[in-house]
Amino acid sequence: MTPAEIAPKDRLIVALDLPSVDAAEAMIAKLGDSVTFYKIGYQLAYAGGLPLIGKLADKGKKVFADLKMHDIGNTVTRGVESVAKLGATFLTVHAYPQTMKGAVEGRGKASLKILAVTVLTSYNDDDLHAAGYRLSVSELVEARAQQAQVLGVDGLVCSPEEVGALRKTVGHQMSLVTPGIRPAGSATGDQKRIMTPGRAIAAGADYLVVGRPVVEAADPRATADAIQAEIAAALG
């Protein structure tokens, strides 16, 4: 499927950032057939949530395993081989060359797609400098995207602010997946590089990751429906 063929509804990935499998299953029931793509990250994975990947896949949902792997190459390769058996669609690794190379090797010919996290969306230039980097966010995102493409990574996690520039760099061969999505009026929280769903899609994002604005909403299903409507409107 080309990025242009992804249905508006399937572009919303809801982050199941919840404390237990019971809480996640209750949220999935509330969202019902409105959400087709879920993300499982640290909070749920470390609370016994990894088997949910297979359960959701069996129900026809897609799952993004946001495990943000980063270790010596061999360990990443073996870890990715294990995740590839769980039924996830996407898996994240940090965008370091050894890590990405190991992940691509571990993926092999499996259907799992590897996404490289370029620069976390909670970081701005000052945060990068405090972490010892001399490059700005946009420079580091660009450099890592180029390395990821050369190494055969399938897609990138970036903020919507970088999507326009990245499309020129990597074309449409790599999926661009953007957290840092905030519907108008919702709390920013710890995110620093943000955009509304409509603007992110108009900028060229393939998938939007939304956590707190949906799972902490009074009516999560209505919120997800509204985001999907905004995505559809932006696609025209």
39 is in an annotated binding site: yes
Contact between 116 and ligand LLZGTKA7 by CB under 6 A: the answer reads: no
Q: Annotated catalytic residue: which of 9, 61, 62, 66?
A: 66
146 is in an annotated binding site: no
DSSP string computed for 21-68: HHHHHHHHHHHGGG--EEEE-HHHIIIIITHHHHHHHHTT-EEEEEEE
| Residue 66 bears catalytic tag | yes
Radius of gyration of the chain (CA): 17
Residue from 11, 17, 154, 207 that binds ligand LLZGTKA7 (CB under 6 A)? 17
DSSP string computed for 185-212: TS--TT--S-B-HHHHHHHT-SEEEE-H
| Interacting span for ligand LLZGTKA7 (CB under 6 A) from 27-35, 52-60, 206-214, 218-226 | 206-214
Contact between 19 and ligand LLZGTKA7 by CB under 6 A: the answer reads: no
211 is in an annotated binding site: yes
Unique residue bearing structure tokens 């919120």: 223
Q: Is 125 left (phi over 0), alpha (psi -120 to 50) or beta?
A: alpha
Annotated catalytic residues are 66, 68, 71
Residue list, annotated binding site for substrate: 17, 39, 66-75, 121, 182, 191, 211-212
Binding site for ligand LLZGTKA7 (CB under 6 A): 15, 17, 41, 66, 117, 120-121, 157, 179, 189, 191, 209-213
